[in-house]
Structure 1
C-alpha cells in the first residue's frame, strides 16, 4: 500500500480518524487535545480545528460517531457529548456530565437512540434522537471493567467490549451477560485437567478461570485478589479399580465428573501464599504462606502424596498431601539453589525432584530427606513423570543460537512422550521431537501470540496444546491432527491464518522437524492448527 498523502496533525496521539459517510472528501480526527476537521482539496488536505467556545476544552476527545445527515457527535474525557453540524467546526449542542469520567464509546441503537459508554462510571447511557437523556442506563459490574466499545446487536441487544477484555451482551435496563471473558493482565498460571478436556488459567489480575477446550467456553471464574503465577491440578491417581478415561468419554464431556475425579487445584501467588481451591465449587479449601517471596512453580507428585513448591527465595518446599489433596503438612525444605527456582519435575516413582533456577542451574533432590543428590550420573536412569525443566540432556536442543538462557519461558512434554512444546519470548510456540538431544535442533514454530508466550501445556490425551500469553493476555489452543495435505505440482495448498496444522505423521515434508533426537531414526512432522477463536 502506498501513502497518497501524509500529514502530521500534532505531536500528541491521534486516537481515531473517520470519513464523513455522505461526503467522501471530508474526514475527522480525534485524540489528545485534538479535534480536527479535514477536507480533501485535490492533492491537499485543508484542516480546521474544532472550536469549543465557552465549553471547557477536554484533555482527550475519546470517541465520535456520524449522524445520517453528516453531523458529528463526540464524547470526551470530561464526560460531555457535543454535536458538530456538518461543515462546521463549532458546537451546536452540548450535553454536559453524561458520565463521570471519559466517554470511550458511542453507538446508535436499532431504534435510533444514541448509546454512550463510560470509563470511570462503567455505565451505558441512552439518549434520544435529540440528544436528551432518556433516563435509561445500565451500570456494569466492576468484575467486567469499564466500557471500551459498543455495538448495536439484533433487536434491542447491545454488545459491549470492556477494558478487561470481556464481551458482554444485554439490553439497557436489564442485566448484561458475558459472551467472552478474558484476563485483564499477564497470564502465567496454566494447568490442564488430568482426566478431561478442561484447563485452568491464572493471571496477575487475580482471576482464575476454568475453561472447556471443546466448547471454547468458560466453565467458572473466580477472583482471588492475588496475582497468580503458577497452577497444578491434584493428579488422577489410577488404581486397578479405576478406569482410565477413553477417547470417546473425553470427547463427550471429559473422562468423568469433575467432583469424582480431581477435586482440587493448587495455585501459587506473588505474595508467597499458595492456595488450594476446590475445582468444582471454586472455593478456597486451604491457604499456606511460606515466605514473602513469590511461589514461582509448584507440582504434585504422580502418586498424589506430595506437593513441591519452588520459591523466589531459592528454596523448594515439600509437603505431605492427604485426603485427596485437601490436607497438607510440611515435610521439609530443599536448600541449595543460589537463585530463584523456576521449574520442577517429579520422578515417576515420586521419590525424586529435579529443579532449574534463574541462574541456569539444574539440581536433583531426594524427597525422603529433602537433600540434594550431588551425583548427576546416579540420576541418569531415573524416569521423570514430566518435562518442565528447560535444562538437561533430553532438552539440550531446544535452545536457539545465541540464547541468553531466558528466551524459553516454559517447556512441556506430551503424555505420549513423543513431542515437546516450548514457549518463548518471541511470541512463538515451538514443537520438537522428544527427546531433543541434538544441539540447536530446528523446531516447527507457530505464531499467534503478539507478545511473549508464558506457558504451554498438553491436555490429558495430547489432543490439544494450550498456550498462554503475557502482554497479549491471550489463550490459544492448538489441535493435533494425523494427516497432512501435500499439494500436487501446480496446486495451491489450502491456507487460512487461523488454520495452521499441528501434525503428527511418519514421513518427512519440507520444513519438518527431522533428525533431532538421539534415540529416533525416523523424523516426525509436527505442526498445529489454532482452534481457539472463541477464547481470547
Structure 2
C-alpha cells in the first residue's frame, strides 16, 4: 500500500514536472528524452486551474488552388451540371467557372491518400481512387455522397487505371493495379463483389476501357502492347494486338472508340492506329478469328499522341506532347483545325469536351485551360508545380503570397480566388513575409539569397545574400524598422529597414543556436522577464502558451508550422500527417484537444490567418496545393442533460473522453496539492508499517 501511494504521488513527473525555482514556477516537457523548461507567466495564479478545451471556432474548406496535371492523364472532365471536375491532393474539385464557385468531395481523408485517376459513370457521377492503402470510391457528383468503397486490401501498391462499363449501363468496373503483374480485376461495384481477376503483363499498363457496344470486350494498353480481353463470367481471355508491318511503338498511350466500334490508339511515335475486329478467316500470322487488326495508320503529331477525346458530334480531338498541338479531326479522321498550347503552360496531359465549341485542356505545369480554335485559351485553374513552403498573408488586404521550389512567386486574391500576379525567381523560394506597410514583400530562397519585391508591381526592390544555405524564415518587426532573416547556417541576420521596406542595411547577426533556425517571433514591447513577454506574433512551436499542441511520442519534427490568430483566440497548426489542426489559445495543457481537418495528401508545410481572421490558408508540400479555409464560430450548445438523448455514439464517446480527462485533471490537481508533504507521508507510512511489524512480532512471541 505504501509503495502504491508513493508511486501515485510521483506519477505526475512521468508526464509533467511542475516545481518552483528561484525564477518562479515552471513546467518541464520532455521531448526525445530532453527536458524543455517553460516558465509559467505571472498572471497565472494556479497552474492546476488551467484548462484547455476545444475552441468554438471551426474550419470549412472554401477554395482549393491548383490542379494535379504534372504526373496524371485524362483527369479533366466537364459534368452535365456545367462544372469542371478535377483533383489535387486528397480533394476532388467541382468548379463552376461561370459562377466562380467550387464544391469539394472530401472522401479521401487518410494521410497519403492522393487521388490519382478516375472514371465517370453516366448515371451516378464520378469514381476516384487513392494510392496508399489503395481503394476505389464511387460517389455521386450531385450530392457528393459516397456510394461504395471497393477493393480495400485487394489492390497492391496502387491503382493505375480504371473504367466503368458502358454497354450495360455502368454495372461493372474494371481496375488495373500497380503490382508487378498489373492485375486486371472486374467488379460488380454495387455489390462490392469481384467477378474476375487475371495477370496482364509485367510492363506498364496505362489505360483500361470497356468496349462501348460489346459488353464482353475490355481493352488495355501500355508499354509496347495492346491487349484485347474477352470477358465471360469469372474468366478473362487475352488476345494480343499484332503490329505486323507497322512499327511497334514504345508506348501505346491512349485509346478511343469510334462510332462503328473500331478502336483508335495513339502512341509515343505520334501515330494513330485504327484497330478493326476481323470476321473473316485470318491469314497466317495475323492472329485468331475475331481478333482486332490494324486497318489504317495516321501520322498525327510530332512527338507523342498523349490523349484522345471523342466528341459528341463524332469528331475527334487529339493532344500532342512535343508539338503542344490540339488537332480537330473530322468523321473520316482527316485533320480540320489545330491550335498550339503556349510553352508557358507546359505539355498537354488531358483534353475534354467543353460547352459548345469549347474544349478543356489540362497541362503538365498544372494549368486547366478553356479554349476554342478561334479565340485561343483562357486560364481557369493554375497553381504551383513543385514543393510549396513559403506563405505570407497581407497585413490589411485580402491577399496572400506563396513561393515554392518551382521558383514561382504568386500573389493570390482570397475574395475573388484569382491570381493577382506571378514572378519567376532565379532561385527556389522557401519563405516570405510582408512589410507592415503592405507595399513590399521579402522572399527567402534555398541559396541564401533573398529578394524584396514591390507588392503592387512585383518589381525588384532589393536583393541581398546571407550565407550560402537555405533561408527558413523572414520576419519584419511590428514597426517595420527591422528585418530578421533565419538561416540554415544557424544564424539570424538582422537588417534595419527604411522607406517603407525599400531600403535595407545590415545591422548584425544573432549567434548561439546549435542548429538551423525554424521559427521566430518579435516583441510588442520590452518586458523585464522573458516569461511575461508579449509577442506580436506567435509562430514558435515551443513555449508555455502552445506546448499542449504536441502529440504524445512526438520526435520534435512533426509540427511544420504554427500560427496564432490575430484575435488571440485560436492556434492553427500544420503537421507531417497531412492534417490542419485548430487549438484553443492559450494551449497550456499536455495533449490538448483540437479540431482536425483533412484535405492535403502530403505534409502540410505552412498555415497563416488572413488579416481579419476570417480565413486560414494552408499549403501542401509534395501535393503543391493551397487550401483556403473559412473560419467561423459555432453557436453555443444546449446544456448537457438536454442534448444527451440526441448524442450519436461517436459524440457520446467524445463527451465521455472529456469527462474522463476532467476527472484525471482533478485527480492530478489533488495529487499536486499533496506533493509538498511527500516526505511527511513517507515518514508516516513507513513508521506505521514499522509499528505493524513490531506488533505482529510481539504478538507472535
Q: Distance in 2 between matches of 1:319 and 1:225?
A: 22
Structure 2 match to 1:266: 442
Please tell me whether residue 292 in structure 1 is matched to residue 443 in structure 2: no
In structure 2, the partner of 1:231 is 432
Aligned partner of 1:534 in structure 2 is none
Q: Deviation string for 1:336-386 (max 9, x for gaps)?
A: 11221111111113x69xxxxxxxxxxxxxxxxxxxxxxxx9411211111
1:281 alignment counterpart: 457
Q: Where does residue 62 of structure 1 map in the other structure? A: 253
Which whole-Å CA distance do the structure 2 matches of 1:511 and 1:470 have between them?
33
Q: Report how far residue 206 of structure 1 moved.
A: 1.2
Quote how far apart the aligned CAs of 1:486 are: 7.3
Answering whether residue 416 of structure 2 is matched by residue 218 of structure 1, we say no
The answer (yes or no) to whether the contact 1:207–1:225 under 8 Å persists in 2 is no
Counterpart in the other structure of 2:584: 433
| Shift, 1:512, TM fit | 8.3
The counterpart of 1:118, out of the listed 304, 320, 340, is 320
Give the conservation status (yes or no) of the 8 Å contact 1:14–1:32: yes
Q: Which of the residues 173, 187, 190 maps onto 2:391? A: 190
More helix as a share of residues: 2
1:369 match: none
| CA offset digits 1:24-73 (Å, max 9, x no partner) | 11111122233111111232111111221122222222111111222111
Q: Cα–Cα, structure 1 residues 458 and 512, in superposed 2: closer, same or farther, change >3 Å?
A: farther
Match in the other structure for 2:68: none
Structure 2 partner of 1:422: 573
How far apart are 1:327 and its partner, in Å?
A: 0.9
Question: Which residue, out of 21, 25, 28, partners 2:219?
Answer: 28
2:282 is the alignment partner of 1:91 = no
Q: Please state how far the C-alpha of 1:485 moved relative to its aligned partner.
A: 9.5
Contact (CA 8 Å) 2:257, 2:310: kept in 1 or not? no
User: How far apart, CA to CA, are the structure 2 residues paired with 1:427 and 1:74?
Assistant: 39
Query: What residue number does 1:172 align with?
Result: 373
Residues 1:457 and 2:608 are matched in the alignment? yes
Per-residue CA deviation, residues 114-143 of structure 1 (Å, 9 max, x unaligned), is 211122332212222222233x32222222
Aligned to 2:241: 50
Q: Are residues 28 and 486 of structure 1, via their aligned partners in 2, closer, same or farther at CA, if it must alter by over 3 Å?
A: farther
Work out whether 1:348 is the aligned partner of 2:540: no
Aligned to 1:80: 271
2:329 equivalent in structure 1: 127
CA distance in 1, matches of 2:658, 2:611: 25
Per-residue deviation at 1:492? 11
Separation (CA, whole Å) in 2 of partners of 1:281 and 1:227: 21
Normalised TM-score (structure 2):
0.61
- Given candidates 452, 460, 485, the residue that maps to 1:309 is 485
Moved more, 448-457 or 75-84: 75-84
1:41 corresponds to which residue? 232
TM-superposed CA distance for 1:489, in Å, is 8.4
The answer to whether the Cα contact below 8 Å between 2:196 and 2:233 also exists between their aligned partners in 1 is no
Q: What's the CA shift for 1:413?
A: 0.6
- The CA distance in 1 between the partners of 2:583 and 2:246, in whole Å, is 62
| SS at structure 2 position matched to 1:138 | strand
Structure 2 CA distance, aligned partners of 1:511 and 1:325? 50
Gaps of at least 5 residues in structure 2 are 1-191, 278-289, 649-653, 666-701
- The secondary structure found in structure 2 opposite 1:461 is coil
- Flag structure 1 segments of 5+ consecutive residues without an equivalent: 237-261, 353-376, 494-507, 519-536
Rounded to whole Å, the distance in 2 between the matches of 1:2 and 1:93 is 39
Aligned to 1:255: none
Question: Which has the larger Rg?
Answer: 2
Q: 1:155 to 1:343 in 2, by over 3 A?
A: same
Q: 1:509 to 1:162 in 2, by over 3 A?
A: farther
How far off is 1:108 after superposition?
A: 2.9
Whether 1:409 aligns to 2:560 is: yes
Counterpart CA distance in 2 for 1:74 and 1:422 is: 48
- Secondary structure at the residue paired with 1:397? helix
- Aligned residue for 2:622? 471
In the other structure, the counterpart of 1:108 is 310
**How far 1:101 moved relative to its partner?**
2.8
Residue 229 of structure 1 deviates from its aligned partner by: 0.8
- 2-structure distance, mates of 1:149, 1:490: 52
Aligned partners of 1:492 and 1:280: how far apart in 2? 51
Match of 1:528 in 2: none
SS in structure 1 at match of 2:520 = strand
Distance 1:235 1:65, change over 3 A: same
Given that 1:74 and 1:83 are in contact with CA atoms closer than 8 Å, whether structure 2 keeps it comes out as yes
- SS of the residue 2:634 aligns to: coil
CA contact 2:393–2:401 (8 Å) conserved in 1: yes
Q: In the TM superposition, what is the alpha-carbon distance from 1:509 to its structure 2 partner? A: 6.9
Cross-structure match for 1:201: 402
The 10-residue stretch of structure 1 (447-456 or 274-283) with the greater mean CA deviation from structure 2 = 274-283
User: Residue 7 of structure 1 aligns to a residue in which SS?
Assistant: strand
Q: Secondary structure at the match of 2:416?
A: coil
Q: Give the direction of change, closer, same or farther, for the CA distance of 1:273–1:27 in structure 2 (3 Å limit).
A: same
Q: Structure 1 residues 33, 309: CA separation in 2 closer, same or farther (over 3 Å shift)?
A: same
Query: What CA distance in whole angstroms lies between the structure 1 residues aligned with 2:370 and 2:490?
Result: 47
Equivalent residues in 2 for 1:328-339 (5 A)?
328-339=504-515
Q: Are residue 392 (structure 1) and residue 543 (structure 2) matched?
A: yes
* Greater RCO structure (CA 8 Å; 6+ sep): 2
- CA positional deviation for 1:277: 1.2
Q: Count residues in correspondence.
A: 450
| Match of residue 254 from structure 1 | none
Structure 1 position 16, deviation (Å)? 1.9
Provide the rounded CA distance (Å) in 2 between the counterparts of 1:52 and 1:203: 45
Could you tell me how far 1:490 is from its partner in structure 2? Answer: 9.1
Given that residues 253 and 265 in structure 2 are in contact (C-alpha distance below 8 angstroms), is that contact kept between their aligned partners in structure 1? yes
Q: 1:19 to 1:389 in 2, by over 3 A?
A: same
Give per-residue Cα distances to partners, 1:202-246, cap 9 Å, x unaligned.
11111122112222222222222421111111114xxxxxxxxxx
Cα root mean square deviation, aligned: 2.5
